[in-house]
Amino acid sequence: MSKVLILIAEDEERLAAFVEKGLKKSGFETIVAADGVQALQAIEQQPVDLLLLDLGLPIMDGWAVLQETRAQNPDLPIIVVTAMSDERDRQRVLQLGANDYLPKPFKFIDLLAKVKLYLEDV
């Protein structure tokens, strides 16, 4: 199996580091983008196998990143990881093309299970 690359679009440094450390321990390669513009640039620069996307990103928010990414990469698995836990936000995220939704705070094991679910064919 080739190395799987996961983009973590998260502006909260400690959370991004925590997720990155756990994913690397699980055998994944990662890139961290601290804002929406960096996230889109990372996707353009190399093939990413999965996007973990926070909605509350600076410069360009996660909603815009989700729409842009989905338009450019219809098959890229996108898991939205956000503190926004309103049911309407969840529905909107899924309508805009996210594959899944994980509210913060979360257990890493739950995140890992979702990641593996979407990457089982990679």
Per-residue pLDDT of the chain (122 residues; tens, 9 = 90+): 468 999 999 999 999 999 999 999 999 999 999 999 999 999 999 999 999 999 999 999 999 999 999 999 999 999 999 998 788 989 999 999 999 999 999 999 999 999 999 998 76
Q: Domain map of the chain by residue range?
A: 5-116
Q: Whole-prediction pTM value?
A: 0.95
Considering the domain 5-116, what is its CATH architecture? 3-Layer(aba) Sandwich (3.40)
Q: Are 37 and 93 in contact (CB under 8 A)?
A: no
Q: In what order do the strands lie in the sheet with 78-82?
A: 29-33, 5-9, 50-53, 78-82, 100-103
